A = this chain, B = another copy of it.
Amino acid sequence: MKIKTGLIGFGRTGKAVASVVLQNKEFSLEWVYRKTTVLEHRSVPEFLGLQSDEPGLIFSAEHISIPDLLDHHPVDVLIDFSSAESIHIYGRYAAGKNIKIISAISHYAEAELTLLNELAELTTVFWSPNITLGVNYLLFSAKFLQHIAPGVDIEIIEEHFKQKEGVSGTAIKIAHALDLDISQINSVRAGGIVGKHELIFGFPFQTVRLIHESISREAFGNGAIFVARNLLPLPSGLYNFEDLLRPYFKF
């Protein structure tokens, strides 16, 4: 029996995540819920040209409410790749039905964080602004090395496509976690580079580099699957990616 999944949001990343869930053998894509009516009632497998016997129907918030959706098309897990407001729409009803919530929203304001904590008393809630395994592993391992060698020089290089504006949010998050100054982030913008983050640890007589290279958005789908799989056995509470990685440290 597959674990039933509902996806909130169907932008570029949402589509990539849907494609990964559809092709996964443990999780089924029951439906996608989105704001607009674009593609409403279409089937995701058919839209993406993928063979699948999972329903994957696209519903629009304009024509069906969350309670109706969750009552008639029940799921075990909700994955949210939409925008910050959505949690207000589905959060309480889903938590009340003990559906697990996985949010990959980039940024939440105070109000949403308060709500997440409330929901976490009823069900298992997860939030990470970057849900790829690679970036979270990098962050974790970097903190570990900094614990071992507190005085080591650290610099970050992040490379992205020419049009990307501002410093990468992931780089900023890493700099923050390592207590670096924003000036220690070097931003390269060139051509069509999908995304590369390099952490340089400079010792007097040796150099350690931790590098993450993005190939495509589907990495977010695999990250969501990893989170879902590790979240299932956990009791209610609010979790982040570090909470899920920690138990793998068994030496």
Contact = CB atoms under 8 A, between A and B. Distances in A.
A69 interface: no
Contacts of A204: 191-192, 215, 218-219, 222
Interface in A217-251: 217-219, 221-222, 242, 245-246, 248-251
Interface stretch (A82-90, A115-123, A135-143): A135-143
Contact of A144 (B190, B192, B249): B249
Contacts of A213: 206-209
Interface in A131-162: 132-134, 137-138, 140-141, 143-145, 147-149, 152-155, 157, 159, 161-162
B203 A207 contact: no
Interface residues of A, number: 59
A112 B148 CA distance: 30
A214 B208 contact: no
Contacts of A145: 137, 141
Given A133-B149, A157-B188, A191-B203, A211 B208 contact: yes
A201 interface: yes
Nearest to A187: B186
Task: Tell me if A's interface is mostly helix, strand, loop or mixed.
Answer: mixed
A249 B147 contact: yes
The winner among A141, A153, A155, A207 for most chain B CB atoms within 10 A is: A207
Residue in A138, A141, A212, A250 with the greatest tally of chain B CB atoms within 10 Å: A141
A208 B195 CA distance: 12
Nearest to A142: B141
A161 B207 CA distance: 10
Contacts of A206: 132-134, 191-192, 212-215, 219
Interface of A: 132-134, 137-138, 140-141, 143-145, 147-149, 152-155, 157, 159, 161-162, 186-194, 200-219, 221-222, 242, 245-246, 248-251
Q: Which 7 A-B pairs have the closest CB atoms?
A: A190-B202, A191-B202, A205-B219, A153-B190, A186-B186, A209-B211, A205-B218
